[in-house]
Amino acid sequence: MLTVAGAGMAGLSAAARARQLGLEVRVLEKGDRAGGSMRLSSCIVWRFRSLERFFEECPGGDRALQRLVFERLDGALDWLEGLGAPVVTRETGNPLTVGRRFDPRGLTDALVRAAGDVRLREPLPESVDGPLVLATGGFQGSRELVDRHVAPAVPLLLRANPWSAGDGLAAGLARGAALTAGMDEFYGRNMADVQLDESGFVPLAQVYGRFATVVNERGEPFFDGPVSWSENDLVQATARQPGGSAWYLLDERTLSERVRERTVAQVVDAARAAGGTVLPAAELPFGTPVGAVVGVRVRAAITHTIGGLRVDERARVLGSDGEPIGGLLACGADVGGISTGGYASGLAAALVLGLAAAETAAGRQGIT
């Protein structure tokens, strides 16, 4: 029997594909629901329009894994649709990328149906008979591991499910797995500074830092150079400020800019309505640029880690000698080395490597 640890995008895709290929599969999910952090996301699954752009955007990543995600994603998206996953739109809203936006609950339900034996509230045991796929979602849910690897002593908000706390990482290391570069990197968002819950993960993301003047709690600029289109570089820089917080200073022109379907003013209004700190520029405790009319306090939130276990293109976990560890596969945010140095779709990597893990376990390659 193939055991899959984790019922997010990666684990459910691996289980569903393995069942298609004739394997007996069980999925162990320590949480009380399936879907992982995918279920809480905007659920846009995308790739860059060119492989060269992928290499440029994530310069520290494993190029073989990046090529795998790029080349297999379109077919993998068709596979999801074939399972009955409902598509919301076939556009990403970003000229640099192509992909599809799924309804997260509908996608979760389709994958659960296809995966079959999904057991909730069942953490990964210390020992497992037969091959094992690690898909527990990274280690962002562990304050101890985040302190150790990512942002020592900085209280990052958690913008993810609480169960992805490094179980896959621990299981891999116990079997001699090697780690990738980028263990100190993460994907996240600067959020309104409220007590964050799942309902606010998407609407309270303050994704307009590239239009703002960004300063720390003392009113000092701390980010060198232009902010990237994804703003993930700004989030990581914010996470390394005292308290993991910053201020976005906005003028009237910035407030009229658009972020997907909303204006910046509407995003700010959502933060204010939720109880976030939104102050007139004259009330801020430091000087502001000419024209600034409002300041929004933001806090860095972690969605998933970027570093993790080393794998090859067949999703086999590699040891320190670079050789595969028998019977051990990994996918999703338990794997590192894809977005290192930048940002790419975590859901895309989870989907593609989940399929690869299943195919390796079944002795097959590629969707047929």
Report the chain's mean pLDDT, rounded to a whole number.
95
CB of 191 closer than 8 Å to CB of 203: no
- For range 127-144, the mean pLDDT: 95
- For range 212-224, the mean pLDDT: 95
How far apart are the C-alpha atoms of 24 and 117, rounded to whole Å?
A: 9
269-278, pLDDT tens digit by residue?
999 999 999 9
Between 224 and 335, residue with greater pLDDT: 335
> Would strands 278-280 and 186-192 be described as parallel, antiparallel, or unpaired?
unpaired
The answer to whether residue 45 scores a pLDDT higher than 70 is: yes
231-241, pLDDT tens digit by residue?
999 999 999 99
How far apart are the C-alpha atoms of 331 and 355, rounded to whole Å?
A: 9
Which pLDDT band holds residue 157 (cuts at 50, 70, 90)? very high
How far apart are the C-alpha atoms of 144 and 139, rounded to whole Å?
A: 9
The answer to whether residue 211 scores a pLDDT higher than 60 is: yes
Domains of the chain in start order, with CATH, are 2-185+306-361 (3.50.50.60), 188-301 (3.90.700)
Give the DSSP letter string of 266-316. Answer: HHHHHHHHTT--EEEGGGSSS---TT--EEEEEEEEEEEES--B-B-TT-E
Indicate yes or no: pTM above 0.85.
Answer: yes
Strands (E), the chain: 2-5, 25-29, 44-48, 87-89, 97-102, 118-120, 132-134, 157-158, 186-192, 213-215, 245-250, 258-259, 262-263, 278-280, 294-305, 316-318, 324-330
How far apart are the C-alpha atoms of 316 and 306, rounded to whole Å?
A: 18
Q: Residue 2's pLDDT is what?
A: 97
The answer to whether residue 260 scores a pLDDT higher than 90 is: no
Give which of 183, 303, 186 is closest to 233, Cα–Cα: 186
How far apart are the C-alpha atoms of 111 and 229, rounded to whole Å?
A: 31
| Cα 166 to the center of its chain, rounded Å | 14
How far apart are the C-alpha atoms of 161 and 41, rounded to whole Å?
A: 10
Q: Residue 368's pLDDT is what?
A: 41
The DSSP bridge partners found for residue 29 are: 120
How far apart are the C-alpha atoms of 331 and 80, rounded to whole Å?
A: 17
The answer to whether residue 367 scores a pLDDT higher than 70 is: no
Pull the structure tokens for residue 338: 């894809």
Q: Residue 261's pLDDT is what?
A: 87
Q: Residue 366's pLDDT is what?
A: 54
The answer to whether residue 42 scores a pLDDT higher than 80 is: yes
The answer to whether residue 229 scores a pLDDT higher than 80 is: yes
- For range 348-354, the mean pLDDT: 98
51-107, pLDDT tens digit by residue?
999 999 999 999 999 999 999 999 999 999 999 999 999 999 899 999 999 999 999
Which pLDDT band holds residue 49 (cuts at 50, 70, 90)? very high
Burial of 12: CB neighbours in 10 Å, binned 0-12, 13-18, 19+:
buried
- For range 354-368, the mean pLDDT: 82
